[in-house]
Amino acid sequence: MLRLRRLGIDTHRENVAFLRRDCASYQAEEFRVLNRIEVFPADGGGRRIRATLNIVDPGPIMEADALGLSDSAFAQLGLPEGAQVAIEAAAPPVSHEVLRGKILGRTLSADELRAIVSDMVAGRYSKMEIAAFIAASANAFTHEEVLGLTRAMIDTGTTLRWSGGPGRMVVDKHSIGGIPGNRTTMIVVPIVAAHGLMMPKTSSRAITSPAGTADTMEVLARVELSVEEMQAVVEREGACLAWGGHVNLSPADDLFITVERPLAIDSREQMVASILSKKAAAGATHLLLDIPVGPSAKVRSGEDATRLRKLFEYVADAIGLRIDIVMSDGRQPIGRGIGPVLEARDVMAVLRNEREAPADLRDKALLLAGHVLEFDPALRGGEGFARARDILFSGRALAKFEAIVDRQGRNRDVLKPGELTHEVTARETGSVQAIDCFRLARIARLAGAPLAKGAGIDLLKKCGEKIRAGETLYRIHASLQTDLGFARAHAEAGSGYRIAP
């Protein structure tokens, strides 16, 4: 038997156990470093969890008769510190051979994909094995495999149910991302809710971008809501803006994201399964999908956009989700701010109808809101945009947004842009011909976004604008000197702007 120890190590959702090399109860070397083990109460009852084993040399970190657990593993096991536990080598999950088949290029059936996803959600796979599945599946899935994966991801998590019965329309909106500052959701949701449609919006945190909708909304309000809290907000206000990862919607997707983020992998097939599984699990019946197309966006040509649109339509139709897809301009960032605080500033400027509000962010939000409103059978075709414009300019969208913020829990701390700044200037005189979205996103992340909410980029020039040599193109904001140094060095190697005479 071993005494349970909580070591206070955050391993970001991965269960890790630590055993002393000189442990008297178990021969540590027999388990081998990085092998998977099962941990369970010594009396044989209670919960069993799987964890990746690490061997610790004798020293002050932990006692020889102890088993240390990371924070996530300790929480899952649910036993008090000092409890008696035992360990044993974990047998490979049943779906392990299926995973090997995918790595070798085999097409998987719906049942095989369900087995893999079930084992992953049950904690039977390590991050290394999940990464192997992601890498093997990237751009190597058939349409049928994408559908099978989507259904498996829906079935292994929570599915939300909303009042009004199965016939009630529940609308949603999503952008596939890749365009910095594209924070239209926070404007679309209050417009749609003020019109009277139900829009329980669950959003993700950033994967490869400087901010996700949840990161930006968190500047203003609490986003980590329970299912009951979400339902209470939606029942009262008709909408919410919450982080989907906190309510167990498609939990397999959250596991995939933890691997995709450091690898910067965001394959089309995984993207479709991720987006549609989250929307179906959230109870949506109608979805507007925004696919930005541009030379430095995720989708870089009309041909690629058409292929992606057809895959979305195929899977959405099969799972009973009505989908409308908009191809939008992805040639440059939307708005002026890149990073949570700076993007929240732009959103509030649009909602408040300020004179200096970014026109491109406002116009795109109105376009998308108009499409969502036209799901309403009470509106005639083509009336959605005018209706959205009226709701925004009348102030009703702002009032609804403020009500949602209050219901979710207003953030009383006023967050500001990072105080450390560096201005990136033009090297020649002319006009801005192109802006590299990918490079600017990279610079903003190096500056600390989204973890440092005030970090990011404030754009002062957009495509088509004139510029003189030495004039500022954009300002980098950071909270730490090291982050500012990384971002500044990357910007000096290439600003991301193309200027022509």
Give the residue numbers marked as catalytic. Answer: 266
| Dihedral over Cα of 177, 180, 184, 189: its sign | positive
Contact 66, 2 (CB under 8 A): yes
Contact 134, 264 (CB under 8 A): no
DSSP 98: H
Q: Side by side, which strands form the sheet with 337-338?
A: 337-338, 456-459, 472-478, 420-425
What are residue 67's phi and psi, to 5 degrees? -120, 115
DSSP 170: B
Nearest to 475 by CA among 500, 433, 447: 447
Distance set, CA 9 to CA 79, 130, 379 (Å)? 17, 21, 54
Alpha helices, H only, 291-335: 302-318
Distance set, CA 28 to CA 51, 55, 127 (Å)? 15, 7, 22
Contact 261, 146 (CB under 8 A): no
Query: At CA 343, angle to CA 353 and CA 410, rounded to 5?
Result: 80
Nearest to 365 by CA among 352, 383, 351: 351
DSSP 4: E
For 87, the enclosing helix (H) or strand (E) is strand 84-89
Query: At CA 335, angle to CA 334 and CA 339, rounded to 5?
Result: 90
Q: Side by side, which strands form the sheet with 497-500?
A: 466-467, 430-435, 497-500
